[in-house]
């Protein structure tokens, strides 16, 4: 692989910080964990170029579409999306983030975290920079890198991955990921479940989705509290665990796995009300 600067790879920077949070929590270093969370919140906010580049890299590495034909379409759209970035702003955001990481953690600590699919992240980032005329690659290397990404994209979906909803990222990937969720629940989707899935896949306002999910969690909690009044002590103890999980979901990021949990909470509400 051609020489790759991991410190300027938006995908790797995000993953390094996530793993730094995890390690800090295990080591009970709350200060370090909070600093990492602050950096993610500050530099990967939805209106930043870093966020856009991260989501594009993530789409290429972690959101397979299941066929070579679709994979080629996604790669073509990714090439177009890569040209929409504000390169100057992106460069400035990376400079500032790297400066803060180096100042707080030291020059190498965060970057030494192990990231799965490191080579794939490096490949996607290198191609994006090549498409933007920011990196020189020979045609053989470009062909090799595109082949790697096409193989990744062509794979069948096996696990839940982060949804891609940014306007600068391929709409086809959004549709495929949405269809994946819908097919998973199509035999038992209620009206409210369909609304949440549609809002998740195609909604323009993340705050609105967050508010709806918060309301769902509140309703589930109240319904469960009311229902358990007529149940035995064993049910009471178990319901406490469920309530805690619902509260955690209320404050969670909106990813595939958490949307799946929202589907389960909606089913729980229906069962409690129906019961």
In the prediction, which pLDDT does 160 show?
Answer: 43
In the prediction, which pLDDT does 256 show?
Answer: 63
Residue length, the chain?
Answer: 275
In the prediction, which pLDDT does 54 show?
Answer: 92
Question: Residue 55 and residue 40: Cα distance in Å, rounded?
Answer: 13
CB atoms within 10 A of CB 92: 13
How big, in percent rounded to 5, are the helix, strand and coil portions of the chain?
75, 0, 25
In the prediction, which pLDDT does 175 show?
Answer: 54
In the prediction, which pLDDT does 5 show?
Answer: 78
In the prediction, which pLDDT does 161 show?
Answer: 43
Residues of the chain where predicted confidence (pLDDT) is lower than 50: 159-173, 187, 275
């Amino acid at each position: 692989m051609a020489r790759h600067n991991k410190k300027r790879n938006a995908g790797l920077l995000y993953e390094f910080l996530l793993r730094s949070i995890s390690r800090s929590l295990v080591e009970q270093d709350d200060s370090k964990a909070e600093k990492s969370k602050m950096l993610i919140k500050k530099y990967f906010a939805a209106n930043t170029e870093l966020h856009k580049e991260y989501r594009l890299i993530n789409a290429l590495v972690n959101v397979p579409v299941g066929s070579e034909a679709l994979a080629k379409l996604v790669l073509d759209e990714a090439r177009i999306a890569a040209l929409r970035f504000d390169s100057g702003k992106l460069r400035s955001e990376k400079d500032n983030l790297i400066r803060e990481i180096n100042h707080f953690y030291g020059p190498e600590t965060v970057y030494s975290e192990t990231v799965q699919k490191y080579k794939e992240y490096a490949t996607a980032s290198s191609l994006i920079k090549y498409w933007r005329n920011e990196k020189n690659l020979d045609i053989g290397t470009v062909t090799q890198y595109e082949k790697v990404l096409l193989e990744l994209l062509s794979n069948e979906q096996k696990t839940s991955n982060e949804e891609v909803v940014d306007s600068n990222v391929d709409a086809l990937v959004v549709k495929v990921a949405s269809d994946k969720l819908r097919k998973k629940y199509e035999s038992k989707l209620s009206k409210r479940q369909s609304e949440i899935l549609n809002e998740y896949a195609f909604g323009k306002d993340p705050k609105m989705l967050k508010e709806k999910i918060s309301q769902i969690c509140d309703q589930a909690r109240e319904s469960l509290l009311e229902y358990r009044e007529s149940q035995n002590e064993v049910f009471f103890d178990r319901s406490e665990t469920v309530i805690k999980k619902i509260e955690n979901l209320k404050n969670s990021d909106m990813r595939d796995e958490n949307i799946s949990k929202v589907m389960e909470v909606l089913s729980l509400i229906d069962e409690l009300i129906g019961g």
